[in-house]
Amino acid sequence: MIALAGTIGAGKTSLTKLLSDHLNSQPFYESVDDNKILPLFYKDPKKYGFLLQIYFLNRRIDEIKDSFNNDLNVLDRSIFEDALLFKLNADMGRATETESNIYSSLLRNMMEELPAQGHQKAPNLLITIQISFDTMLKRIKKRGRSYEQIANDPSLYDYYKNLNQRYAKWYQDYDASPKMLINGDKYDFVEDPSAARQVLAQIDQKLESLGLK
């Protein structure tokens, strides 16, 4: 199992497709366009923040279970970064500390309930895509989801900036599995085929060093 991580607009979905095609494995995509809770969260984070996190937790547990059956399946978001996102919401007043603590406890309990024998709960490799704050804002604007736009909600500027900063610290502290960092500013694999080839080569090298390819 390979899991991708990164802030909004990092290119997780694009790299998931590139990598799963490259490895001839199955991709698992985060539910966004069919997520009816997400637009409600952006309108009223305090009301829908906890519900959204439970929705994502349920989906990611299902994805981890589904990925047990095949080698090197690619998940376009890691379950391990969900606590980071919800803690940010709590710190910014978008959720309560009690909700954050309950969520963290539930996450630990659900991970413990996953079957352990013959299965690895953490990914074989975590790939984090790191982009600058400016790149993040440009990509959010370009993909055009109305509820993500700062023009519609100026408070999102501080939320996005804080989120991008916390991801750097989160990656440094992550120790649940082998990991690697992709520079999403230097390698624009979404738009540049040459950059995509270079990124895939870097991942191949990492997988080979881990004995996974």
Task: Check whether 194 is labelled as a binding-site residue.
Answer: no
Tell me how far apart the terminal alpha carbons of the chain are, to the nearest angstrom. Answer: 12
| Structural domain for 165, as ranges | 2-209
Structure tokens at 93: 């007043």
pLDDT interval class at 147 (50, 70, 90): confident
Task: Check whether 12 is labelled as a binding-site residue.
Answer: yes
Rounded to two decimals, the pTM is 0.87
Task: Check whether 184 is labelled as a binding-site residue.
Answer: no
Bridge partners (DSSP) of residue 94 are none
Task: Check whether 11 is labelled as a binding-site residue.
Answer: yes
pLDDT digits (tens, 9 = 90+) for 43-88: 898 899 899 889 888 888 887 777 766 667 898 888 888 888 888 8
Residue 44 belongs to a domain with what CATH number?
3.40.50.300
State how many domains the chain has. Answer: 1
H/E stretch holding 71: none
Q: Which residues contact 39 (CB under 8 A, 6 or more apart)?
A: 147
Whether 76 is a known active-site residue: answer yes
Q: Are strands 125-130 and 2-5 parallel, antiparallel or unpaired?
A: parallel
pLDDT digits (tens, 9 = 90+) for 14-23: 999 999 999 9
Task: Check whether 30 is labelled as a binding-site residue.
Answer: yes
SS3 125: strand
Within 13 Å and on the Cβ side, how many CA atoms surround 193? 0
Bridge partners (DSSP) of residue 3 are 75, 126
Q: Is residue 79 within 8 Å of residue 57, measured between CB atoms?
A: yes
SS3 65: helix
70-74, 108-112, 183-187: which has the minimum mean pLDDT? 70-74
Give the model's pLDDT for residue 182: 97
CB atoms within 10 A of CB 109: 9
Q: Catalytic residue among 76, 91, 134, 153, which?
A: 76
Q: Which residues contact 29 (CB under 8 A, 6 or more apart)?
A: 13, 16, 76
